[in-house]
A and B are shown apart, each in its own frame.
Chain A
Amino acid sequence: MDKFQKYYLSLLVLVIYSNLQAQVNCNTMQDDNCKKACEIFNYWSEFQGSRVSQEKLDESIGLCPDFSNVYMEKAVPYLKRGDFITWKILIDKAVELEPKKHLGYRGWCKYQFLRDYKGAIQDIEALEKIYTTGYLGYSSNGDYELHIAKAICYSALGQKEKAVSIIENQLAKKDHNIGFFDYYQLGVTYFELGKYDKALQNFEKQSKQYDFAENIYYKSKVSKIRNKDYLDLKKLALRSYDEGKTMKDGYTHHFNKVYRAQIEEL
Chain B
Amino acid sequence: MSVLFLIPLLINCQSEKTVVSKYPSHVGDLEFDKKLDGDFKRCSEDGSYQYYNDSKGFQIEGEKNKIIQEIQKLKFKESKNSNGYITIRFVVNCEGKTGIFRMEQMDSEYKAYKFDETLSSQMLNFTQNLKGWIPKEIDGIKRDYYQYLTYKIVHGQVSEILP
Closest-by-CB residue of B relative to A47 is B26
- CB pair B27–A81 under 8 Å, yes or no, is yes
What size tier do the contact residues of chain B reach?
A: 20 to 34
Residues in B neighbouring A253, C-beta threshold 8 A: 58, 64, 162-163
- CB pair B28–A252 under 8 Å, yes or no, is no
- CB pair B63–A260 under 8 Å, yes or no, is yes
Return the contact of B26 from the options A49, A82, A115 (Cβ within 8 A): A49
Return the contact of A49 from the options B28, B87, B152 (Cβ within 8 A): B28
Return the contact of B57 from the options A51, A78, A250 (Cβ within 8 A): A250
Q: Does B160 contact A (CB under 8 A)?
A: yes
Number of A-B contacts (CB under 8 A): 89
Q: How far is the CB of A228 from chain B (nearest CB, A)?
A: 27
* B 59-115 contacts with A by CB, 8 A: 62-66, 85, 87, 89, 104, 106, 108, 110-112
Given contacts A51-B21, A253-B64, 9 further A-B contacts (CB under 8 A): A49-B28, A51-B25, A54-B27, A55-B21, A78-B27, A83-B104, A85-B112, A114-B85, A251-B52
B interface, CB within 8 angstroms of A: 21, 23-28, 50, 52, 55, 57-58, 62-66, 85, 87, 89, 104, 106, 108, 110-112, 146, 148, 150, 152, 159-160, 162-163
28 A–B contact pairs at CB < 8 A?
A50-B27, A54-B27, A55-B21, A77-B28, A78-B27, A80-B50, A81-B50, A81-B148, A82-B87, A82-B89, A82-B104, A82-B148, A83-B27, A83-B87, A83-B104, A84-B87, A85-B111, A87-B110, A88-B110, A113-B162, A114-B152, A115-B162, A249-B57, A251-B57, A253-B64, A253-B162, A253-B163, A261-B62
